[in-house]
Structure 1
Amino acid sequence: MPIISQKAQTWVVVPAVLVVMAVITYQILLAPDHLQGTKNILSMAKTIPLPVGGPESIEWDPQGEGPYAAVVDGRILKWRGDGLGWVDFAYTSPLRGNCSRDEVVPTCGRPLGLSFEKKTGDLYICDGYFGVMKVGPEGGLAKLVVGEAEGRKVIFANQMDIDEEEDVLYFNDSSDKYHFREVFYVTVNGERSGRVIRYNKKTKEAKVIMDNLRCNNGLAINKDRTFLISCESATGLVHRYWIKGPKAGTRDIFAKVPGYPDNIRLTPTGDFWLGIHCKKNLIGRLMVNNKWIGQLVEKTVKLDLLIGLVNGFKPHGIAVKISGETGEILEILEDREGKTMQYVSEAYERDDGKLWFGSVFTPAVWVLDRK
């Protein structure tokens, strides 16, 4: 009996120890950061489902209609309200035969950042495969506007903004090697080939104004158009480039935000919202901060597993608001458990105070009425 009892105790103790070790390992390596002072309110947002995944960027036309959403199968969809739902507006490739509603097919394109030009009604589109494109107010097939800059092809156009007074576009080209589908490898492998490009619509000149960036993702011009900011997903750094004034042509660090930032949108009051893909964890930091680990991961870890490792296998929602004057973090909103919102790519504040959110993966946009 004592021998049987001892074996029984072993069978109980060993699994218990393994469970405890697994929990400790998860908490140390994988658990997303706990951020102080956040508001865990994003789970209260209203969900508007889409028939296709990944509304990475959203935008409204000059008449206030929309939102328009850039989705994974190469289309831009338009929301016509609860009665009509989503309708086709535009697409970036004529090759529509094998496009998937769940996964990126390179020949179909992958529209990302959207920006309407108010004076013309044209919609400019950063496509993660083709470059910067444009479609008229009636929609349809978009045409290429910028496909290279200073002799180098635009591989990964990401987000842009328009200075309509100067007739100039500014946009991110996030990598000289990878397209959108490999964005997480760009984040971890340490490469610094990202650049910000200025395109003069009158002269058709595309000029690099910032380079040596590490997966630069979001971009926005400030309210008085004296500078622009561009954020690096890998580092959380927000770089500033001075467009006008005594510092014109120079750059500095404007802010640093928690997590892996995506798109940036200017608020009606002149601050900025940044969509955050997820918070950081220890294993993510090890990959991002040690180039050799990141390059090993790139060669050995499948993309789905890498995404899980980065977000701690716990998709969640987060957005950060920073001051348009100082870069100070003003507010952090969360859906800590990912009950409603996950993989936030964009946070867009409208004049009525409502916050709209896009997602790089989830087939939904969300709207939060804070009033």
Structure 2
Amino acid sequence: MRPSFASLFFFTCFVCLKVETISYELRADARLKNYHKIELAHGVGPESIDFDCKGEGPYTGISDGRILKWNGPQFGWKEFAIPSHDRNREMCDGTSDKKLEHVCGRPLGIKFNKATCDLYIADAYFGLLKVGPRGGPAQKLATSAGGVPFKLVNGLDIDPATGLVYFTDSSTVYRRWEYVTAVLQGDKTGRLMRYDPRSKKVSVLLKGIAFANGVALSKNKSFILVAETGKARVLRYWLQGTKTRTHEVFAELGTYPDNIKVNQEGEFWVALTTGTEEDTGKKRLAGDTDAGITVDTVAVKLDREGQIMETIDASDSKTLQSVSEVEEHLGNLWIGSVEVPYVGLFKN
């Protein structure tokens, strides 16, 4: 039987997809040869990573509530900030006890406003925080929106031109230690919000999100992405243009997305939850997908239209565990995690 044009087109695209997937895997294998671990002195779980307005760092938040700064191999990690003035150091410093997170704090998303050099922190329990360029105890900016208290503040990004801070509250019902339950129960109370430093007010841009997670502002500021972890996808909320104030599905991933970071080219790195002891639901959602994502894929790079450009795969390596974020800086990839006692680094 003579093949139709449609079947030939499908076969051609399938072959192209497989070739692209192979190239992703080869690139990932090459990266693993240049992978390094920067061990933390105390605590675990460097969830998010950023560099300050001078390019120094990286900085990261860890399990005991503190923000640390990397000062190079000679000086190592030094404390930069704490979530509150009255944090109990004797109880908190160095702890990884999840039962103490509501007392000690648990910073998740962090981001510097490169125009002011202030560091903004999405603390799961303390809310939206800000620290000046010299560090120290954080200033509390917001703990609720629309009269509804935050339960699990998670990801954030900043528009340095306006100072507007975009951030998420994953749920209005569940705390961080209950996040597996939140996803399995199909909780859809997550919110995408915006904090205006001039009015000091928080506005809700989008609600009804199934575990709102990482956020990333597009390079041209026309839209913002938010990871909808509970539905294994990324949403796009339009800030400008004819679609302003509307949203749509940006990428269907078939597995749980975590933090999202934009690089200098305007591409998006999306971390994917991996199979660790506290993996959401104890099992990844989908198996292999047509997009080239497998149960071993720990991160994907998406273009401005949500198409996969590259994947990082950990099928043959134990070095990539519990990946929560990929931050691209000066050609290097810095790897965050909610579980491990080190920051990962793929040197260019």
Same fold, TM exceeding 0.5? yes
Match of 2:328 in 1: 349
Task: Give how far 1:308 is off.
Answer: 8.0
Measured at CA, do residues 47 and 304 of structure 1 come closer, stay the same or move farther in structure 2, by a change above 3 Å? closer
Q: Which whole-Å deviations, capped at 9, do the CAs of 1:281-320 have from their partners, x for residues lacking one?
A: xxxxxxxxxxxxxxxxxxxxxx9577583269xx967111
Amino acid at match of 1:368: F
Matched, 1:360 2:335: no
CA contact (8 A) 2:81 2:135 kept: yes
Match of 1:293 in 2: none
Q: Which of 103, 109, 123 is the equivalent residue of 1:107?
A: 103
Task: Give how far 1:338 is off.
Answer: 4.1
Q: Which whole-Å deviations, capped at 9, do the CAs of 1:207-264 have from their partners, x for residues lacking one?
A: 1111110111110000000000001112221111110111111111111124211100
Amino acid at match of 1:78: K
CA contact (8 A) 2:297 2:311 kept: no
Match of 2:298 in 1: 318
Amino acid at match of 1:101: T
Task: Give how far 1:78 is off.
Answer: 0.4
Task: Give how far 1:112 is off.
Answer: 0.6
Measured at CA, do residues 77 and 173 of structure 1 come closer, stay the same or move farther in structure 2, by a change above 3 Å? same
Q: Which of 127, 130, 137 is the equivalent residue of 1:134?
A: 130
Matched, 1:57 2:48: yes
Count of aligned positions:
309
What does residue range 238-253 of structure 1 map to in structure 2 within 5 Å?
238-253=234-249
CA contact (8 A) 1:317 1:341 kept: no
Task: Give how far 1:157 is off.
Answer: 0.9
Q: Which moved more, 1:83-92 or 1:198-207?
A: 198-207
Matched, 1:82 2:73: yes
Measured at CA, do residues 98 and 317 of structure 1 come closer, stay the same or move farther in structure 2, by a change above 3 Å? farther
Task: Give how far 1:189 is off.
Answer: 1.3
* Partner Cα distance (1:192, 1:229) in 2: 17
* Partner Cα distance (2:68, 2:182) in 1: 28
Amino acid at match of 2:97: E
Q: Which of 16, 39, 58 is the equivalent residue of 1:67?
A: 58
Measured at CA, do residues 57 and 265 of structure 1 come closer, stay the same or move farther in structure 2, by a change above 3 Å? same
Amino acid at match of 2:91: N
Q: Which whole-Å deviations, capped at 9, do the CAs of 1:162-219 have from their partners, x for residues lacking one?
A: 1122231110010001222222222211010000011111112211111110111110
TM-score (norm 2): 0.84
Task: Give how far 1:347 is off.
Answer: 0.3
SS at match of 2:177: helix
* Partner Cα distance (1:82, 1:191) in 2: 43
* Partner Cα distance (1:109, 1:316) in 2: 31
Q: Which of 277, 282, 290 is the equivalent residue of 1:309?
A: 282
Match of 1:170 in 2: 166
* Partner Cα distance (1:307, 1:206) in 2: 29
* Partner Cα distance (1:343, 1:305) in 2: 9
* Partner Cα distance (2:203, 2:139) in 1: 20
Match of 1:31 in 2: none
What does residue range 93-242 of structure 1 map to in structure 2 within 5 Å?
93=84, 94-96=86-88, 97-99=90-92, 101-104=95-98, 105=100, 106-242=102-238
Amino acid at match of 1:268: Q
* Partner Cα distance (2:37, 2:316) in 1: 16
Q: Which of 309, 313, 316 is the equivalent residue of 1:334?
A: 313
Q: Which whole-Å deviations, capped at 9, do the CAs of 1:126-159 have from their partners, x for residues lacking one?
A: 0000110011111111011111111111111111
Task: Give how far 1:353 is off.
Answer: 1.0
Task: Give how far 1:103 is off.
Answer: 2.5
TM-score (norm 1): 0.79
CA contact (8 A) 1:317 1:342 kept: no
* Partner Cα distance (2:130, 2:66) in 1: 13
CA contact (8 A) 2:217 2:225 kept: yes
